[in-house]
Amino acid sequence: VSDPQVYIALIHYPVYNKRMEVITTSVTNLDLHDISRAAYTYQVKGFYVVHPLASQRELIHQILDYWQNGYGGQYNPDRREAFQILRVASSISEVLTGIREETGSVPRIATTDARIYPNSISYRSLREEISAAKSPYLLMFGTGWGLEKQTMLGADYILEPIAADRPYNHLSVRSATAITLDRLLGDI
Ligand code: SAM
């Protein structure tokens, strides 16, 4: 049985706002819970939440502390368990360093977006590659209006959009993460 080394990251900077300016977004409590649970279900090795502001990283630690050490964890052990894989980082480069230290290899990066980019990779191809590889992969997800273009283009792969041709295509990052993990790691 293969044991894919897949990590995911939720990026709060650099992302776009509605006017396509590069901004930093705020942490969303729901994202932390729902993405941790999806990631833990699909045996992701680590879920990084990337935020450049110390005050927002501290907020994440407080939420984690409540669910891991406080009353929340006693009341709902399922959440405590899923939060074990959440890690907090200040930048994408810190994530890459962390994965390299843990696995001995720099991960191959795949980014996601609702927009169509040229040379994107299909879920099927990336799924096959991941299942055959021994080296780590990092899947990056955006907040706000999506990952900044240079971050998208700097990745090894850009995944094709989910539901690209539908008239309405505004998935939450929570839904997009769950769908992506199921397509790449789920039992099909
Ligand atoms: N405020 C929003 C929310 O409620 O989640 C944040 C939207 S954020 C731009 C959505 C992120 O989910 C994108 O950056 C991308 O990582 C992923 N995503 C959304 N739609 C997608 C699609 N059709 N295909 C692939 N990834 C998608």
> What is the Cα–Cα distance from 79 to 73, expressed in whole angstroms?
7
Task: Please say whether the dihedral angle defined by the alpha carbons of residues 173, 120, 42 and 49, taken in this order, is positive or negative.
Answer: negative
SS3 label, residue 66: helix
Is the CB of 145 inside a 6 Å radius of any atom of ligand 1?
A: yes
pLDDT tens track, the chain, 188 positions: 568 999 999 999 999 999 999 999 999 999 999 999 999 999 999 999 999 999 999 999 999 999 888 888 888 888 888 999 999 999 999 999 999 999 999 999 999 999 999 999 999 999 999 999 999 999 999 999 999 999 999 999 999 999 999 999 999 999 999 999 999 999 98
Distance from Cα 1 to the centre of ligand 1, integer Å: 31
Q: Which atom of ligand 1 is nearest to the CA of 143?
A: 8
Q: Which atom of ligand 1 is nearest to the CA of 174?
A: 5
Per-residue CA distances from 175 to 48, 57, 63 (Å): 17, 23, 21
| H-helix or E-strand spanning residue 82 | helix 77-83
> What is the Cα–Cα distance from 65 to 119, expressed in whole angstroms?
42
Is the CB of 146 inside a 6 Å radius of any atom of ligand 1?
A: yes
Is the CB of 141 inside a 6 Å radius of any atom of ligand 1?
A: yes
Tell me the CB-side half-sphere exposure of residue 129, using CA atoms within 13 A. 16
Query: Residue 129, exposed/middle/buried by CB under 10 A (0-12, 13-18, 19+)?
Result: middle
